[in-house]
Structure formats: C-alpha cells, structure tokens
Chain A
C-alpha cells in the first residue's frame, strides 16, 4: 500500500508554506511519486492563476530603471543544480546528510539505528531511522504528529503494509510496532513535532523549582 501526503499538505508545499522539515519529507515523496508531483504542479498552476487575476500594484518607475541597468551584469548564470543522479540519498536531503544512505554514520545500537538530520526550523525534529531487515521497533506510541517517509525497504504494523516511497502520517493515539520486511533494511525519514519535546524539557527544568 503506497500512502501519500494529503491535499492540504501538497497545497501548502506548492504554495511555499512548507519550507521546513515537513516540506523535506514531502519533497522526498514527490521525487518518486508522479501522481503527487502532478498534483503539486496543479496547485502551482492555481498560484499562477491567482497571479494572473490579482489586482496589480504598480512599482515605481525607478525600480524598472534600476533593474534594466542590472541586466548586463546578470547575464546567463545558470543556477547550479545538484545532480539528480548519484547516491541513494534523496536529493532534498543531500545538503544535510551523506549522498549515499549506506555512507551515513548511523548512531545507536541493536536493530534500530538513527541519524539526526540537522534541519532547524523551530517546529520539528527530523531523523533518519534504519531498521534492520526482518526486525521490529519496540511497541510505542507518539506524543504528537509524526510523519514517516520510507526511503528504502518497507515495513508493516497493525494498520497495514507500507511500501517504499510511502508517506505515512501516524495518529498520535496509535500504539504500534513497525516491523521491517525480511529482505532489506528499511530506511525512513521521520519528522516529529518539536514543541512537545521542548515543553517537556523545559518542564523538567522548571519542576524542581516548583516543588
């Protein structure tokens, strides 16, 4: 079963309101999902339509003169795109972690390893998680929103089976035990809401004084 981001997330992404860790998860999904790419492009076209029919606010003439004067200096300078091919790491993550998922210096021990993705947006915590083939994460529950984008392999839990490329939003009420399929390690990008974690940290600090 391939899971996808819902329309609200896609429209936020396409309109530029998801420039955060959650946006990275959507971008990783779009890289392999043509349906969602098409929807996102459709929402961009909605933006184009908005631009077309909006009430114009003219700029002062000086802005035009100064821009025209800058054109020569600004001649062809194709913006460098990071290569689409290369390692197995999805392109949206390559500025933050190694190009190849196998070259990541995983932390932790046992069947479930992790690597923090150093994105700071003040709202989320992003991690890569590597679950060894055929093994399970201990049964757990989430405190808030968690989004999981499967980058490699597949897993199943009590709700269903998720194939490579799935974008899964976990219900905080759900207690589950993801288990990787036996053939290959399952690697996911997991994005969780940060506020709860920070609040707890603060509470831990504050509590001694309250007593």
Chain B
C-alpha cells in the first residue's frame, strides 16, 4: 500500500491506509492525554507526513505501524516545541528519513522487537505502555487498572529486568 502511495501517488491507496490506521493513531493520541481537536490535528499531520515521505518507508526496517508510530511521536514533540529554537526538536534526536538503508540492521531490529513482544507477559507490556508510551504516573496506572500501587511498580521492575535479559541475550 505504501509503495503504491510512494510510486504512483495513489490517492485511493492513501485513503485505504487512512481508514486502516487513523483511528488507531487517534486512539493513541487520546491516550497521550491530548484534547479531541489536538489529537485529530496530530493524526492529520502524521498522515500528511506519511503521504509526503512514503518513498522513505523501508519495510525491511520496520512495519507500517512502527513507522507511523515514530512519525506521530516526532510530530508530537515538534508541536509541543512550536517555535522555541533552543529546545530539542525531533530532527535533533532522530534522522527523520535516513537515506541509507541497512538491511542487516533492519533484520536484527525486527528479530529483537519480535522477541520483546513475545517474551513480555501481557500485563507487564501493558503497564510498560501506560507508563512509558502514554506518560502516566504509577498511581494513575494503578487506579486505571484497579491494582495496588506496589503491584504496578513491581510489574514495571520485572518488565525492565526482562528487557535487560533480552538485550543481553541478543548480544550473544
């Protein structure tokens, strides 16, 4: 689909992609705590960037959802930053659409990511999402999930320990 968008500037393919992922992007934007209209604008900016830069998408490196996730992440940082030149922009942190394509590195990343997702127990992964990907405090997470605060903290610790082990294993 992205290839059709990139090569043929295919609006129909883009509309299909929009139907597939805009609701998910919006769901995530809302979970980040953005107000309805801010979330919708962020989703539109993200999809516009996907349209503009579809040629840079490299399926060897990441899946569509991962790519879309990184674009939304970057757009959000830059919206928060607005015109403040002395604060950090997403351009400083990541090369947005790097030209060099390293297939080996892409394969390794994909394998590492698959292991991460497979080996993390679901609850730990969800708490990891709540805390790091949605920016919620431990007590908010505890309240939302109806868990004692101590259990949230220990799940998070277990998740991070598991990530450490996976990292060490992937180096061997």
Which residues of A are interface residues toward B (Cβ below 8 A)? 6-8, 11-13, 15-21, 23-24, 26-27, 34-35, 37-39, 41-52, 54-60, 63-64, 66-68, 70-71, 74-79, 81-82, 84, 91-93, 95-96, 118-121
Contact = CB atoms under 8 A, between A and B. Distances in A.
Nearest to B100: A84
* Most B Cβ at <10 Å: residue of A16, A59, A79, A81: A16
A20 B92 CA distance: 10
Interface string B139-160: 0000000000000000000001
A46 B82 CA distance: 27
Contacts of B109: 38, 41-42, 45
Contacts, number: 205
A121 B22 contact: no
Contact of A45 (B23, B117, B129): B117
Given A11-B128, A44-B69, A59-B26, A19 B88 contact: yes
Contacts of A44: 62, 66, 69-70, 113
Contact of A58 (B26, B72, B88, B105): B26
Nearest to A73: B48
A119 B93 CA distance: 13
A27 B116 contact: no
Interface string B57-73: 00001110111111011
Contacts of A48: 62-63, 65-69, 113
A89 B77 CA distance: 23
A45 B62 contact: yes
Interface SS of chain B: helix
Contact of B68 (A7, A18, A51): A51
Contacts of A50: 28, 69, 129, 133
A75 to B, nearest CB: 7
Interface string B2-46: 000000010100110010011111111011000000011001100
B1 interface: no
B77 A19 contact: yes
Contacts of B100: 84
Given A15-B132, A71-B11, 19 more contacts: A16-B76, A19-B77, A24-B92, A37-B105, A38-B105, A39-B112, A44-B113, A45-B109, A46-B129, A47-B69, A48-B63, A54-B31, A56-B24, A56-B26, A57-B27, A75-B52, A81-B95, A81-B97, A120-B86
Given A37-B105, A64-B22, A47 B116 contact: no
* Most B Cβ at <10 Å: residue of A44, A60, A75, A84: A44
